[in-house]
Amino acid sequence: MDTRICCRCKVEKPLEQFVKNKNKKHGRGHACLECHNSYRRKWDAEHPTESATVEEKICSMCETVKPASEFHRNRSSWTGLAARCKDCQANVSRGWYQQNKGRANKRMRSNALMRQYGLTEIEYDRILESQGGGCAICEAVSGNGDKRLSVDHDHQTGAVRGILCDPCNNALGFFRDDPSLLARAIQYLEN
């Protein structure tokens, strides 16, 4: 088990008891959670936030005075509000997306794979390659148009079973993942 000495209390503690910090080598900061929280409470008491009193703000982009409700929240700002108003931020985000559609779509796909199935892009590609590059059932090589093949998973356990084209994935769903229903459907088709 990895340990570290806290920079404040000078006590050696397990790494899990330190503040998370993705910029550090081990993903943890130099202060333990206890010391960090104690320091933050003291600092917050000495520097009360003024966000509750801010009713209007000037947008850094359109330079218009707008009510606080027109700004997203930002806890790291002394006002507690974002620098740009919601409209300007939406325009910036829309512009970035238009210029970086491929990157944005790839990122959204990667995030969705990880969030929904716990899969990375590399694991998805590895499964697809092990299936011969296509649907595990009908061996179709790609989904509809630019759409990628779907990840099939057990709805009760969440375990990934394979990668399927939409028609095969939908068919399994329509049969409620029940092998006896599928067997009766096969028997029906053969008669």
Comparing 31-40, 133-142, 145-154, the range with the smallest average pLDDT is: 145-154
- Looking at residue 40, its pLDDT comes to 85
pLDDT attached to residue 51:
41
pLDDT category of residue 85 using cuts at 50, 70 and 90: very high
pLDDT digits (tens, 9 = 90+) for 102-148: 999 999 999 999 999 999 999 999 999 999 999 999 988 875 556 78
Structure-model confidence comparison of residues 156 and 120, the more confident one? 120
Residue, of 51 and 59, whose pLDDT is higher: 59
Query: Per the structure block, which two tokens stand in for 158?
Result: 């969440």
Which of 28, 11, 10, 27 is CA-nearest to residue 19?
28
Domains and CATH numbers, the chain: 3-46 (3.30.60), 56-96 (no CATH), 117-190 (3.40.1800.10)
Burial of 57 (0-12, 13-18, 19+ CB in 10 A): buried
